[in-house]
Copies of this chain bind each other. A is one copy, B any other.
């Protein structure tokens, strides 16, 4: 198991989807930062299921408590322990699962590795575990905003075969939040909602793509050669359940380009150095330069679907799985808050590691 992420700004998450609670310990947060449970709650709420009819109707409340590390409203520099109680579980929905391996899930993999697992829901492999990350990410995000003026955004740019049109500029938080699918283009949003409904009605699921942008990052983030900013982001994003791909800047499109086109021309003016374009995605040699850091994360379709699936039991007998309960037809819709949190966690850690040298 490795539930620890980060070198200086380090988090340790814990908790199963159907255990009593889940949480995270955040170590390395600078002292003196104002912090309240309410502000963390804002980020958590953006992740919650039940936000719209399009995601899982499990209504979990997800209220976060701060158990340490804050005194008189400010961080002390000591570890911050956050806890979120699981209020809405309905274990009996998962009764079947104990004996069957669910296709596309981690069940068999966990048994092969650990020989014993909590079969309820997804245990630790469930997407619910990401609530702890989002809570920790809220702290990281605040550090970056207050100390560096950074803003982090993520939005849905594709659901199934429906893609939002390319844009000239990054969207705003308002445009993203105005859409029930978190796609800043209204027309595409509507078609995406239909795509999700169609999947739900067919008792199926569909994948998607989330784009992210880090605006106004500090220059100098990234620790070559292995902890390049894009490498740390890649690891963070591919640690999100259901993720299957990561791109920085032009990503796979860069493979089709020529150097004369892909190279970002360097300029200089009264405010210093800048770039005419940003095909690179804000990183050169693994280090940020101040340009927006942007990319995309691909998500597979939810493994749990309503329709019948052929599978086997733990003892190898043929079986039919028909999942009851409540499931997201498209986990990508819920991913933006998690993608933002992961970006914040990575960049806060890299920022602190870079400060060690200044």
Contact = CB atoms under 8 A, between A and B. Distances in A.
A311 B260 CA distance: 13
B209 A255 contact: yes
Given A226-B3, A227-B2, A266 B101 contact: yes
Interface centre among A209, A256, A257, A259 (most CB of B within 10 A): A259
B13 A225 contact: yes
B258 A110 contact: no
Contacts of A260: 204-205, 305, 307, 309
Main DSSP-derived SS at the A contact region: mixed
A358 B352 CA distance: 9
Contact of A220 (B78, B112, B224, B246): B112
A117 B261 CA distance: 26
A246 B262 contact: no
Given A231-B235, A238-B234, A263 B104 contact: yes
Given A7-B7, A124-B78, A244 B251 contact: yes
A35 interface: no
A52 interface: no
A230 B300 CA distance: 14
Interface in A82-117: 83, 101, 103-110, 112-117
B16 A255 contact: no
A5 B202 CA distance: 45
Given A10-B4, A254-B298, A262-B301, A239 B228 contact: yes
B104 A284 contact: yes
A266 B312 contact: yes
A250 interface: yes
A202 B260 CA distance: 10
A280 interface: yes
Nearest to A302: B259
Contacts of A286: 106, 109, 125, 239
A154 to B, nearest CB: 15
A246 B245 CA distance: 6
7 closest pairs, A vs B, by CB? A106-B285, A235-B235, A205-B259, A268-B316, A125-B285, A104-B263, A109-B287
